[in-house]
Structure 1
């Protein structure tokens, strides 16, 4: 084909040629509309994969291809009305191409492009290549792949700091191209951790512009390493407070935990707690929540209903991290707040919220009526966008920003967990619902008191990979990419502001990150239970945009009483119809998912 088969075949020509070849080889393919995108202004690309990223799961698009390189400079292209001349010479200057879905009009595609691409993806200033050290490379490629690819699209080279034998160390692995180098470091989060990280950064033969970790127990140490190497960071003291649920609670109470929450240095203090409490003229109400001051994934968190259960839960929580690299026996005792729980994720830059997303954290086993103290607080599903009333959403946003500021942060990507007291909605099943889907419903009796935010914790890092990916697909905002840019500091101000902008029309669909918990005990026989489910129930594939099986063949399952809260699998399920339709699809997976044990 003369138009594209020249000696200097460009990516644009290759794409056009392969697309035409596919069309020619498909019987009754019909017409095909290909849209090439050209820059109308001069600039430097903020992120080279922005087209693929922002058009992912767009129903107007059958295929999308970017021709950009990271940090590429592009110039304004003059419009040419001569189509043949454009095909022969102009296409090589296009930034990307879109194959329009057959049933979609050009006008509809144009509106969708306006919705998704109305942000400054071209910047006037030159963007320099950067390099960051990433501390702790995660457990497998499924837990970090998008972050590594985001770094490449941002023109950031990744140097992984982790233990010997980590899967990213092998230079011949299929993923080695996603990092520049691997540096062997003892990343045990002990007192010398920050010194070892700083030494690794200082000894690296090329300049490193920032250090990143998303490991809760390493955030404070990485901040200390940044300070010693004169790299951008938030204060280590802020990370220390965020990582300590006791200090977080004191921050919320103005330092007066005795108002309704209590911190014990160890379980031994419990014997003195009750007499002291009684002498102060206070009676202890139930239910209560007991948890270690450090921890993650609701590990070792108990809901207790009496003094005996309280004693057992306090000893359990106090022992949980008593022999860790940084030992802790401290325990938080706080009221159980009977209100809707949320995950709230905030992108804050220089004390200003650039993006805030709140999703509904559905009831956990411990939230259910009649649940005993052994019931856990493991998540069941998170649904976005939230169905809370708008004033409660605003209350969450305002309160959480104040809490983050009070801890000492000015910038960062924050994953917060909170509940709303006196909410006007509660979880229930609507009368006549054939699917019996539990969701937020208006309360029969509206509370007289104003809604109040009760903060559980602030995680000074992006949410877990599965929720971060869900937000990326739903809103177009990449938390991992933003966190890496923030580690580089003020020089990335323009990109941070540009890439924090969501789709103009908001969420592109309703999405649930649903968790399949362990409900049986034994040795896993299923090789990949999530994949096997989709193969068996093929009609559900179009509604599942992401999935992952954490427990696979040979793994030991402890069942519902597991000491560590490891789930079987998760699915990110979508609906473009309604939230109700989404929950019906989730219910189908819950009712039909199965796995085999040996």
Structure 2
């Protein structure tokens, strides 16, 4: 292989033509480099090392014009299309050992993203005066990239990565084969050749969180191991499916500005090369010019929840009359799923059987389907009569919840008949209807279980622990050390010690679960069987449940300062653990729950949902594969629920961005947050959970630790404690 040490990258002032910074570059094979024909190892990586000139590396001056080897280049006018570029633009130039100096352009290096990657790498060397190391990810097997940003997706939160640049276009074809390492005869030579062959470029971190310089050679070796773990699956597909168009019915209830999932849904569609037609009410935010790049078209469709009787007919008529060739329909609204599936059948689109949705989206029908002792009621009088009946009487505590519910609204834990009327009255019938279900309360650890299926086959499965809710704080939780019960005022649920919340709204979910392996297997086998028995075959499913007769319980550990699961010291009953299904959601988890899985396991639930709707089976199978070694860390999704004194406050949020404020004050905590968001803004009126029947969040944080689950829980508790906000 010919040496490249004499080749340089230059930053040139576009106005004066003077070189303001130079660095030599060289590309070298590493441990992953070589010929590969294995679709499960479809890439090689190449190290790209950039070293500043000696005077610059020593910090003597700010640029070449201060030194004896000052150069001035005359590269001619820059053009973009037919218009000349501004004369003072900074320009990136490749200099060869043969005295040639050629400007690098979007055309010469293959894409604007590749050009920006080179510029970022060079400017990092300029600002730090230190060597910079990057890696190029070069497909070595022939095929079409499953999603353009796959490298960026799978390297989220890698401790060795500063940034990832995606060079690939959606559905781009890569020829694979041996990577030519010399002799490329293009305007930028070998560098251009390598960039054109690459799907992505990675800039490695050159310092840690404390500012200490990182050994780049060791970081390169460590990152190679991560690349093998995270990218060794067939992310290049054999077939190029025709570009298809998916209509999404109900384009997103929550605006992205306030935490909506739009960036995840439509971002995944763009990376997959799926065109989106958004169908929603006139005036929906997706019709704004701001979101034109997110969709091919916006088509008005009147939506009502619950849907009107003619909804199916109107969907079919809208699709047939909109003038756009559509290949499939998708809705993420549970009450629309049955009529949308029926419309798909009439239009000849891929779909699941419509019948299972009627059970899965109704809490009473789900409970009966699972064989629970469930009762349907429409009034407090009816509920009291059921609870008092000799035939239908239920043991306490019991759960009362609306059949058509969401966000844990209207869900109550009832310990005595005297509490039934208040529980029923807490249901907002204008939003959830009058029907509610009464069923036994399972006191075992609560879990979220997510599954991806293809023709009944389980492609991916994971479980997270839902920490106890504020409604469960009244139950006794043993102290691990001395057997006493802990303070019931918020310590178990994680709420503040002065919290007035008494709901089942999520407080903290921890990924992955620490339940015993056998109990996780019970959940997997039982919930998978339930979906198949119900009639589902393909899709992404978010289930909520508990482990009845679990061998574990939540306890407070004074020494570690966290509440977590521990093995019971003395089981109350000698009964085998069983899975207890609470509800089925034929969609990804709500809020930002899918982002935790994306970074923890490497699987994007929005992508699997979009691909399921179009029955793009090859890509669905490929993109449902997690990291080879399992989750990269323990992550806790911390929710900050709405809470204020409704007797003293109107409910006007009177703070700025509480996430930004926390991070500015506690950067040590910010380093352990993968993603986060403030969901409200100053001056916004926020409904009260008890007064108005709305459960909502003010902010969320995905908190992680590579050290231990205990540290994750400690950090989560610290963040909840440190969040500051006020209402008026």
Question: TM-score scaled to structure 2, two decimals?
Answer: 0.76
Q: Hey, which of these two has a bigger chunk of helix by percent?
A: 1
Which residue of structure 2 aligns with residue 295 of structure 1? 405
The match for 1:420 among 547, 551, 559 is 547
The reply to whether residue 595 of structure 1 matches residue 719 of structure 2 is: no
Which residue of structure 2 aligns with residue 540 of structure 1? 669
Asked whether the 8 Å contact 1:302–1:374 carries over to 2, the reply is no
Give, in whole Å, the separation in 2 of the partners of 1:390 and 1:37: 36
Which residue of structure 2 aligns with residue 493 of structure 1? 617
1:47–1:273 CA distance, 2 compared to 1 (3 A): same
Give, in whole Å, the separation in 2 of the partners of 1:383 and 1:304: 27
How far off its partner does 1:587 sit? 1.1
How far off its partner does 1:48 sit? 0.8
CA RMSD of aligned residues (A): 2.2
Question: TM-score scaled to structure 1, two decimals?
Answer: 0.92
The match for 1:383 among 506, 510, 518 is 510
The match for 1:9 among 83, 97, 108 is 108
The match for 1:439 among 535, 541, 564 is 564
1:83–1:162 CA distance, 2 compared to 1 (3 A): same
How far off its partner does 1:16 sit? 5.4
Give, in whole Å, the separation in 1 of the partners of 2:166 and 2:244: 22
How far off its partner does 1:155 sit? 0.7
The reply to whether residue 163 of structure 1 matches residue 281 of structure 2 is: yes
Which residue of structure 2 aligns with residue 57 of structure 1? 157
Asked whether the 8 Å contact 1:475–1:502 carries over to 2, the reply is yes
How far off its partner does 1:206 sit? 2.0
User: What 5-or-longer segments of structure 1 have no aligned partner?
Assistant: none
1:429–1:243 CA distance, 2 compared to 1 (3 A): same
The match for 2:525 among 376, 394, 398 is 398
1:284–1:38 CA distance, 2 compared to 1 (3 A): closer
List aligned pairs for 1:242-253, cutoff 5 A.
242-253=360-371
The reply to whether residue 73 of structure 1 matches residue 173 of structure 2 is: yes
The match for 1:92 among 181, 196, 220 is 196
The match for 1:237 among 346, 352, 355 is 355
Give, in whole Å, the separation in 2 of the partners of 1:60 and 1:83: 31
Give per-residue Cα distances to partners, 1:66-123, cap 9 Å, x unaligned.
Answer: 2111111110243334388532544322222222333343322211101110111111
Which residue of structure 1 aligns with residue 80 of structure 2? none
The match for 2:435 among 330, 346, 351 is 330
List aligned pairs for 1:444-455, cutoff 5 A.
444-446=569-571, 447-455=573-581
Asked whether the 8 Å contact 2:114–2:165 carries over to 1, the reply is no
Asked whether the 8 Å contact 2:394–2:440 carries over to 1, the reply is no
Give per-residue Cα distances to partners, 1:482-503, cap 9 Å, x unaligned.
Answer: 11111112xx111000000011
How far off its partner does 1:377 sit? 0.6
Give, in whole Å, the separation in 1 of the partners of 2:121 and 2:549: 60
Q: In structure 2, the residue corresponding to 1:168 is in which secondary structure?
A: helix
1:157–1:274 CA distance, 2 compared to 1 (3 A): closer
- The size of the alignment, in residue pairs, is 578
Asked whether the 8 Å contact 2:519–2:547 carries over to 1, the reply is yes
Give, in whole Å, the separation in 2 of the partners of 1:169 and 1:581: 44
Give, in whole Å, the separation in 2 of the partners of 1:567 and 1:440: 25
The reply to whether residue 568 of structure 1 matches residue 698 of structure 2 is: yes
How far off its partner does 1:445 sit? 0.7
**Structure with the greater relative contact order (CA < 8 A, sep ≥ 6): 1 or 2?**
1
The reply to whether residue 204 of structure 1 matches residue 322 of structure 2 is: yes
1:88–1:313 CA distance, 2 compared to 1 (3 A): closer
Give per-residue Cα distances to partners, 1:378-404, cap 9 Å, x unaligned.
Answer: 111000010100000000111111111
The reply to whether residue 464 of structure 1 matches residue 556 of structure 2 is: no
Give, in whole Å, the separation in 1 of the partners of 2:627 and 2:678: 30
Give, in whole Å, the separation in 1 of the partners of 2:370 and 2:194: 60
Larger Rg computed on CA atoms? 2
Which residue of structure 1 aligns with residue 123 of structure 2? 22
The reply to whether residue 222 of structure 1 matches residue 340 of structure 2 is: yes
User: What 5-or-longer segments of structure 2 have no aligned partner?
Assistant: 1-92, 96-101, 207-213, 476-487, 490-499, 646-650
Which residue of structure 2 aligns with residue 513 of structure 1? 637
